[in-house]
C-alpha cells in the first residue's frame, strides 16, 4: 500500500499551485531524500539533443526536505517558476564557480529565494500585492536576469551592472537601488557603500520646454474625438472634470460637483499618500479654457444626469484607464486637427496649472493650494513656464525704454 504524502509536502504543493495561479504541469516531490521540481516547461538541458516533443524534466532544490525548511523550499520553487516563465532560468553549469544546485550566493536561484522572502515580509504589512507587482517585482526580476549573465564574484560588480541598466539620476535607477538594498537587508548581507553614489537623486534632467500640457485647441480636438468615439456621456464628464478642475485622475474617486454662488466647484475627497504625508480633501473652483461658457458646457447638469463611468472609477488606477482611452483616440482618424502623441491625461492637469498662473495670475502659494500640493513642488514643476511670459514682457519693456 502506497504511503500518503506528509502534510508539510501537501501544504507546500498547495501553496506552490497558488503561486502559479493554478498553472498545471508543475509538481514538487521528494526523490532520494531530496526535493525536486518536475515539469515539461523546464527548458532543455544543454546536453540534450534538440527535440520538439515536450519532455518532463526535473531540477533538484538546494533546500532539504522537511517541515522546518518548507517555507524556504517554497520560496526556491516559486523563484525557479518565475524565472522559467520570464525565460531567464538556466541549468546550473557544474564547471562554473558556484555551479551545481547548491548555487553560489549571488546566483539567480538564491536571489529568487530572497525575493520571495522579501515579498512575504512586506505584503499586507506595508504594501499591497498590486504595489509589489508594480514597484518591486520588475526591479528584482531584472536583478536575477543580470545575475544569470555570468558568475559574479563580488556584490559591487553585480549591483553596478544592475544599476547601469537605467540612466543616471533617473527615478528607475533610484527604485532599483532601493529594492536591491531591501533584498540585501533581508539576506543579512553587508551593503557595499560604493554603490550608494550610483543611486542618484531620482530627478532626471528637466525638459527645457517644461511640462507637457494640452493647448486650448488640443482640448477642443480631444472633446471632439470623444464625441465621435464609442465613449459615453459619462466618459466625457470624467474628461471635462480633469480639464476644468485640474484633477489627478485618481481624484475622480469620490468626486462631487456643486454650484457655490456663481461658481461651479469640485469637492475632492480622495486622499493622496506621499512621502511627506497625506494630501487631504479640498474644494477647487472651475477654471475652464478660454472661450468656454461659465457653466463649462453644462457640466453640473451632465454630471447629475450621467455621473462618472463606474468601470473607470472602480479601477485601482483610473489614470491607466484614461491613458488607454487616449491611446485609442490618438488612433482615431480625425476630420481636422492633430493631438500630440506624447500627451497624457496628466497633461490636462498641467494645462490647468498654467491657466492659474499665466491667465489668472495667481501666486505660487494660491495655485498650489488649489492643486493639492506644496508651493515648492508647484514652483519646481511649473516655475520656468510661469516666469517665462513675465520675463519676456520685462525684457521687451526695458528694450523699448532705452
How far, CA to CA in Å, does 37 sit from each of 54, 212, 299, 390? 16, 51, 60, 68
pLDDT digit string (tens) for the chain, length 402 residues: 345 788 999 999 999 999 999 899 999 998 877 889 999 999 887 767 666 677 888 888 888 888 888 888 899 899 999 999 998 888 875 434 444 443 468 888 889 889 998 998 888 877 888 889 989 999 999 999 999 888 887 899 999 999 999 998 888 999 999 999 999 998 888 899 889 889 987 665 556 567 888 999 999 999 999 999 999 999 999 999 999 999 999 999 999 999 999 899 999 998 765 444 555 679 999 999 999 999 999 999 999 999 999 999 998 889 999 999 999 998 876 555 678 888 899 999 999 999 999 889 899 899 999 998 888 888 888 887 777 666 666 677 777 787
Q: Phi then psi for 224, rounded to 5 degrees?
A: -65, -40
Q: Return all residues near 132 (Cβ < 8 A) that are at least 6 apart.
A: 119, 122, 123
Cα–Cα nearest to 26, from 52, 58, 72? 58
Which alpha helices (DSSP H) does 200-298 contain, by range? Answer: 216-228, 233-245
Show me where the domains of the chain are located: 7-42+55-199, 216-400
Residue 136 near residue 176 (C-beta atoms within 8 A): no
User: pTM here?
Assistant: 0.61
Other beta carbons less than 10 A from residue 305's beta carbon: 11
Rounded Cα gap, residues 238 and 51, in angstroms: 54
Rounded Cα gap, residues 247 and 283, in angstroms: 11
How far, CA to CA in Å, does 162 sit from each of 101, 107, 180? 24, 14, 9
What class does CATH assign to 216-400? Answer: mainly alpha
Q: Return all residues near 105 (Cβ < 8 A) that are at least 6 apart.
A: 98, 189
Q: What is the distance of C-alpha 92 from the center of its chain?
A: 32
Q: Using one digit for the tens of pLDDT, what is the confidence trace for 323-363?
A: 999 999 988 765 556 788 888 999 999 999 999 998 898 99
Other beta carbons less than 10 A from residue 377's beta carbon: 15
Q: Return all residues near 325 (Cβ < 8 A) that are at least 6 apart.
A: 231, 235
Output the pLDDT for position 275.
Answer: 44
Q: Using one digit for the tens of pLDDT, what is the confidence trace for 274-312?
A: 444 555 679 999 999 999 999 999 999 999 999 999 999
Amino acid at each position: 500500500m502506497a504511503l500518503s504524502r506528509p502534510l508539510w509536502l501537501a501544504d507546500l504543493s498547495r501553496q506552490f499551485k497558488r503561486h502559479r495561479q493554478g498553472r498545471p504541469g508543475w509538481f514538487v516531490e521528494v526523490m532520494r531524500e531530496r526535493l525536486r521540481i518536475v515539469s515539461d516547461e523546464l527548458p532543455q538541458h544543454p546536453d540534450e539533443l534538440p527535440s520538439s516533443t515536450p519532455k518532463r524534466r526535473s531540477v533538484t532544490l538546494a533546500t532539504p526536505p522537511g517541515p522546518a525548511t518548507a517555507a524556504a523550499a517554497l520560496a526556491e520553487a516559486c523563484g525557479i517558476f518565475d524565472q522559467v516563465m520570464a525565460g531567464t532560468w538556466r541549468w546550473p553549469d557544474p564547471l562554473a564557480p558556484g555551479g551545481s544546485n547548491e548555487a553560489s550566493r549571488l546566483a539567480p536561484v538564491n536571489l529568487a529565494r530572497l525575493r520571495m522572502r522579501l515579498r512575504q515580509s512586506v505584503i499586507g504589512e506595508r504594501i499591497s500585492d498590486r504595489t509589489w507587482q508594480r514597484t518591486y517585482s520588475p526591479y528584482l526580476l531584472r536583478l536575477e536576469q543580470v545575475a544569470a549573465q555570468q558568475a559574479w564574484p563580488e556584490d559591487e560588480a553585480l549591483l553596478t551592472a544592475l544599476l547601469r541598466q537605467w540612466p543616471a539620476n533617473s527615478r528607475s535607477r533610484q527604485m532599483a537601488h532601493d529594492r536591491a538594498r531591501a533584498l540585501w537587508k533581508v539576506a543579512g548581507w553587508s551593503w557595499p557603500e560604493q554603490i550608494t553614489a550610483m543611486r542618484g537623486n531620482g530627478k532626471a534632467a528637466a525638459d527645457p520646454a517644461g511640462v507637457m500640457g494640452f493647448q486650448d485647441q488640443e482640448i477642443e480636438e480631444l472633446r471632439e474625438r470623444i464625441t465621435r468615439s464609442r465613449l459615453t456621456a459619462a466618459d466625457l464628464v470624467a474628461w471635462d472634470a480633469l480639464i476644468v478642475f485640474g484633477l489627478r485622475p485618481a481624484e475622480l474617486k469620490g468626486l462631487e460637483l456643486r454650484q457655490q454662488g456663481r461658481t461651479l466647484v469640485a469637492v475632492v475627497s480622495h486622499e493622496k499618500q506621499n512621502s511627506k504625508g497625506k494630501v487631504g480633501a479640498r474644494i477647487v473652483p472651475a477654471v475652464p479654457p478660454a472661450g468656454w461658457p461659465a457653466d463649462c458646457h453644462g457640466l453640473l447638469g451632465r454630471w447629475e444626469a450621467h455621473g462618472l463611468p463606474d468601470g473607470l472609477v472602480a479601477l485601482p488606477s483610473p489614470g491607466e484607464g484614461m491613458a488607454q482611452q487616449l491611446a485609442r483616440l490618438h488612433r482615431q482618424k480625425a476630420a481636422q486637427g492633430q493631438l500630440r502623441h506624447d500627451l497624457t491625461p496628466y497633461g490636462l492637469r498641467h494645462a490647468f496649472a498654467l491657466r492659474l498662473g499665466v491667465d489668472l495670475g495667481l501666486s505660487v502659494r494660491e495655485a498650489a493650494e488649489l492643486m493639492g500640493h506644496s508651493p515648492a513642488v508647484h514652483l519646481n514643476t511649473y516655475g520656468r513656464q510661469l516666469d517665462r511670459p513675465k520675463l519676456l514682457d520685462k525684457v521687451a519693456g526695458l528694450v523699448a525704454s532705452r
